């Protein structure tokens, strides 16, 4: 049976629940996914020719062959990965991924023009760009603190970096013609006990006040703060906690980032969305697959990933929730990891959009818990895969059963030749 025939049959089945599949697919194609650049090269960046991780709260495991050796090879991998991901896409850049060509004096002095390379690329293919200041892997962060450092010199360095990052974001958003989401995450904290919790947080808020005193048009840039509960090197204390950023964002008209790996393993980000969206301007959603801690595994289609997309869809919150990826795994083909993670998110979005939410809500409002639960069970066996195949074909992306062979071919013909 052809893909079209399977799609027509599946569409008819969903129509029985009152779901217009064609309209849902049209809408799916308008939802942008912000795909993190740092999966492509293990968070190396292009500050120098021998750019590599320097610690500071970041750890990428593995050393799979084929890592790009410069910005051109990195762009080649990005383009190939994006070609295999159906739907609307943005590239989330870290500040260290500019086209510096050895001209960057230090990270606190980044300039908008350093990102013209990516702006031209995005405009050529119709992609958007998001941004993240890079507050890790630098000698000025070796104490474990950046914006919340007790050292004024260190604090000034990082404050200048974030202020210049926001200036670059405004430039990117204006140039590309799409809003650039600027997400601020800092690794500040302590491995062991500290008595300076309050002092570090007071200093952090002072730095943020200075940073956000500069206003830019929201059509170009919007800002979010990304909290963290724990991680390697900050097991006992994190300056930028969820509570601190939630309150600061609500007070100052900012957004917060909810990273699915930045909370206790028993916490569900899906349960936070409907609460957080009521009190902050927007949510920047960072999707990873945390295992026991913020381990940044490649996202896969899971119950929690589907639940996250259902919460966004049920609330019709696509104007308040910006969906993005945040993971990096060098134990496998880096392009393959990009593709699996992004496609899994779009699959979860598709399942959420095809949910007969109106009928489920009707049963719930009537107090008919049996009918509601029975409907939940019935839709688990609906032919989502046939609709996904049709969507991929319509978007010009490979079907699932083509991905392995195509990526392994690219690995053989392009990536592995870099190690010779």
Sequence-separated (6 or more) residues with CB below 8 Å from residue 31: 87, 88, 318, 323, 349
Domains annotated for the chain, with CATH where assigned, are: 1-30+357-420 (no CATH), 34-353 (3.20.20.150)
Q: What is the pLDDT of residue 230?
A: 77
| Residue 71 CA to its chain's centroid (Å) | 21
Residue 90 is predicted with a pLDDT of: 98
User: Residue range 341-369: average pLDDT?
Assistant: 97
* pLDDT for residue 281 is more than 90: yes
Q: 362 pLDDT exceeds 70?
A: yes
CB pairs under 8 A, 24+ apart, for 275-280?
Answer: 276/246, 277/315, 277/317, 277/320, 277/321, 279/246, 279/250, 280/246, 280/249, 280/250, 280/254, 280/255, 280/256
Helical (H) or strand (E) element with 14: helix 3-15
- pLDDT-derived band of residue 133, with 50, 70 and 90 as boundaries? very high
Q: First and final CA of the chain: distance in angstroms?
A: 45
Task: Output the six-digit token pair for 261.
Answer: 């790996």
| pLDDT over threshold 90, residue 291 | no
**pLDDT category of residue 54 using cuts at 50, 70 and 90:** very low
What is the per-residue pLDDT for 53?
Answer: 46
Average pLDDT, the chain: 95
Q: Which residues are catalytic?
A: 185, 226, 228, 259, 262, 286, 294, 296, 326
User: Which pLDDT band, with edges at 50, 70 and 90, does 295 fall under?
Assistant: confident
Residue from 162, 164, 160, 168 nearest 118 by CA: 168
pTM of this prediction? 0.96
Mean pLDDT along residues 321-330: 97
């Amino acid at each position: 049976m052809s893909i079209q025939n399977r799609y027509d049959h599946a569409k008819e089945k969903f129509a029985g629940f009152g779901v217009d599949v064609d309209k849902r697919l049209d809408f799916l194609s308008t939802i942008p996914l912000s795909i993190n650049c740092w999966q492509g090269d293990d968070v190396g960046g292009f500050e120098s020719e021998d750019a590599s991780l320097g610690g500071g709260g970041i750890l990428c495991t593995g050393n799979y062959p084929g890592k790009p050796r410069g910005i051109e090879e990195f762009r080649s991998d990005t383009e190939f990965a994006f070609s295999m991901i159906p739907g609307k896409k943005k590239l989330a850049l870290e500040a260290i991924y500019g086209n510096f060509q050895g001209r960057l004096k230090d990270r606190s002095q980044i300039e908008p023009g350093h990102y013209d390379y990516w702006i031209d690329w995005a405009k050529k293919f119709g992609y958007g760009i998001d941004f993240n200041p890079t507050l890790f892997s630098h000698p000025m962060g070796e104490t474990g603190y950046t914006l919340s450092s007790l050292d004024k010199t260190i604090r000034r360095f990082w404050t200048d970096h974030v202020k210049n990052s926001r200036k670059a974001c405004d430039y990117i958003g204006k140039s590309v013609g799409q809003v650039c989401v600027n997400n601020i995450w800092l690794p500040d904290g302590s491995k062991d006990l500290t008595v300076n919790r309050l002092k570090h947080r007071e200093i952090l808020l002072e730095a943020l006040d200075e940073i956000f005193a500069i206003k830019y048009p929201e059509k170009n840039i919007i800002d979010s703060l990304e909290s963290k509960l724990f991680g390697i090197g900050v097991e006992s204390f994190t300056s930028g906690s969820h509570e601190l950023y939630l309150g600061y964002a609500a007070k100052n008209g900012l957004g917060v980032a909810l990273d699915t790996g930045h909370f206790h393993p028993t916490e569900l980000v899906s349960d936070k969305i409907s609460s957080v969206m009521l009190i902050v301007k927007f949510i920047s959603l960072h999707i990873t697959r945390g295992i026991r801690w913020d381990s940044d595994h490649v996202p896969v289609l899971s119950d929690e990933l589907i639940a996250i997309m259902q919460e966004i869809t049920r609330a019709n919150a696509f104007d308040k929730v910006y969906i993005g990826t945040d993971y990096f795994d060098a134990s496998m083909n880096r392009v393959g990891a990009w593709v699996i993670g992004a496609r899994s998110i779009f699959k979860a979005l598709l399942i959420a959009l095809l949910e007969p939410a109106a009928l489920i809500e009707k049963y719930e409002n009537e107090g008919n818990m049996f009918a509601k639960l029975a409907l939940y069970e019935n839709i688990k066996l609906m032919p989502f895969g046939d609709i996904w195949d049709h969507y991929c074909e319509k978007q010009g992306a490979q079907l699932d059963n083509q991905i392995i062979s195509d990526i392994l071919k690219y690995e053989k013909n392009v990536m592995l030749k870099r190690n010779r």
